Amino acid sequence: MKIFKLFLMGTLAAAAMVSCTCGKGLPVPQEQLEECVYLGDKTEFAVWAPDAQAAQLRLYRSASDEAAFKTVDMKLGKGGLWKATVKEDVKGAFYTFQVQKDGKWLDETAGIAAKAVGVNGTRGAVIDWTETDPEGWAEDKSPEIKPSDIIVYEMHHRDFSIHETSGVSNKGKYLALTEEGTKNPDGLATGIDHLKELGVTYVQLLPSTDFITVDEAHLENNQYNWGYDPYNYNAVEGSYSTDPFNPVTRIKEFKQMIQALHKAGFRVILDVVYNHTTDASKTGFQRTMPGYFYRMREDGTFFDGSGCGNETASEQEMFRKYMIESLEWWMKEYHIDGYRFDLMAIHDIETMNIISERLHAIDPDVVIYGEGWAAQAPAYPAEEIALKANTYMLDRIGAFSDNIRDAVRGPLGCENAGFMDGVAGNKENIEFGIAGGVEHPQVTVERWTNSPLQHVSYVSCHDDHCLRDRLEEATKATEQERLRMVKLAQTAVYTSQGIPFIFAGEELYRHKQGVKNSYNQPDSINAIDWTYKTKYNDLVKYYAELAAIRHAHPGFCLGDADLVREKLQFIEVDDPCVVAFRISGLEGIDSAKSLTVVLNGSKKNVKVEIPQGNYVVLAQNAYADADGFGAYSGNYCAAAATSATILAEM
């Protein structure tokens, strides 16, 4: 998200605020909310506005026509739904709803659940959904990926392919990820082929649902935004399509992208932003049921736990239903495999657990995690929201670990680069991260997970400085020394019992010219320069080998808290900048009997005593090879300064 996030401790008392109780007892439809259903010779429309005095449907021939060609009075039915049926073929038309409250007509809206929209999302679109499926879509299947093989790659559509060196034809578009054989000027793989080489298995897409800050009608202006300003939650963003004026095109191209990723062996996670909306006055929420979908003060102003002007009310019955059905829609229609929740701590625990139950019923392997914090205290009791500290109360839902992030690279806003630059005081949080956030007899940090798979391990993401900019700001080291720090940091991430997560382009040593909040900055700041793959190819290969090591050794992802406690043991080292651990008793789990890792953040070489054995060296002195590059027999593990060593006992 585009704002600095303030972590809220689980013990934080709820702010002395009273949230709006408007809407209590209002009728909620039992059936799924379908605002527009095209049936060929007729189309059915519905909008939820149970306390409205009247409602009208307006049909337009284009997304920009000033005058409607048909206006239809709607009738209030069960569940607070106003309904109308147009008994003619109106495929290709655009629609809005308008409701009357307290004797006044509110502004027109595409509704709250429009699934197809026109340019800039101000009007819904009547389409034939069979026309949105690319060839072979019915046979599209998500690849099977074991929990131990999950490695997440966070990507912004435009960043990934817009640079002139990407070799991609559909630069900055959904279709960029459908192109195979793309190369940088030196003939090295880019795009989807690069992802294959890198060994990641999940692609997390920054917001791809319709957002408001990019003018889709004037893309020639090269506008940029991360997209954390949602407008139509159930519709695809048009700025990443080749024709944002055509409602079918954006949907079909998004599906083509998902299909290509699945065929290439990746599962797809969608970054979702249900915690707040863009300017509330422009949304279907406020134009149909003012005050209901948000947490409101008694004076009619908005609470603002998001820092973006408002916060939504997941505890309200209709919004809870809305979130669930929206998430199910993306899974069923678009074959989405998981979700990353922006500012998840704004949502209540009960809603999140119901979401998990419903989504796991569709796909038992769905991956769900989020940010366990908010921008400021939400208007809901701290013990009832999805804070990081409450993750143990969530069902199969994970959270980002700022424990390991801040320990490895230094806290956000801090002037040092943490463990990877030899700064003491971080050992306990790194051990916590290595254990996947579960309770462990040797870990002093209080646990917040029940399962290591609830712990998302990372050192950088789209927020704040990317790793290179962080190092260049916080250290005086040479570039070669900084590259060693990056390798050390990522070794901690990839050997942690949690889910490894990396930010697109950090494997190429990307930078953003020191800009830490680049949410609306130009391509010159955000675009990934693919010539860096040539310049920093040694780093790219190290990332790929770390992934290969993790895939080859499921001992790095035991997936169960009891197994972590049983098999993971930290080795005592009298150095605040050295973390060493051994995972043993792996017969039947791993091809290796044991795995030993020494993370050396200090500026000197170290030796750590280990059991006598025959080992294969998988990583040492800033070099890694999943096949091993040397045999070793002995009772100690050596690690050079600012580097990691990984040994497998065979």
pLDDT at 500 over 60: yes
pLDDT for residue 5: 43
Q: Are 397 and 454 in contact (CB under 8 A)?
A: yes
pLDDT at 59 over 80: yes
CA distance 585 to 567: 6
pLDDT at 14 over 90: no
pLDDT at 412 over 90: no
Q: 173-214: per-residue pLDDT in tens?
A: 999 999 999 999 999 999 999 999 999 999 999 999 999 999
Helix (H, G, I), strand (E, B) or coil at 258: helix
Report the number of secondary-structure helices (H) and strands (E) in the chain: 14, 26
Q: 286-302: per-residue pLDDT in tens?
A: 999 999 999 999 999 99
Helix (H, G, I), strand (E, B) or coil at 393: helix
CA distance 313 to 277: 11
C-alpha pair distances (Å), 261 with each of 135, 145, 158, 188, 339? 15, 13, 17, 20, 16
pLDDT at 4 over 90: no
Domains parsed from the chain with CATH numbers: 36-126 (2.60.40.10), 567-649 (2.60.40.1180)
pLDDT at 639 over 80: yes
CA distance 162 to 225: 13
Position 21 confidence tier, pLDDT thresholds 50, 70, 90: very low
pLDDT at 413 over 70: yes
pLDDT for residue 3: 43
pLDDT at 499 over 90: yes
What's the average model confidence in pLDDT over 44-65? 97
Position 9 confidence tier, pLDDT thresholds 50, 70, 90: very low
What's the average model confidence in pLDDT over 365-389? 97
pLDDT for residue 18: 35
Position 415 confidence tier, pLDDT thresholds 50, 70, 90: confident
Q: 470-485: per-residue pLDDT in tens?
A: 999 999 999 999 999 9
The catalytic residue positions are 342, 371
pLDDT for residue 23: 61
What's the average model confidence in pLDDT over 577-605? 98
31 contacts: CB under 8 Å, gap ≥ 6: 79
C-alpha pair distances (Å), 75 with each of 53, 352, 462? 10, 34, 46
Position 1 confidence tier, pLDDT thresholds 50, 70, 90: low
CA distance 129 to 145: 30
pTM greater than the 0.85 cutoff: yes
Which pair of tokens denotes residue 237?
Answer: 């963003």
Closest CA to 300 of 280, 329, 322: 280
49 contacts: CB under 8 Å, gap ≥ 6: 55, 80, 82, 99, 101, 288, 289
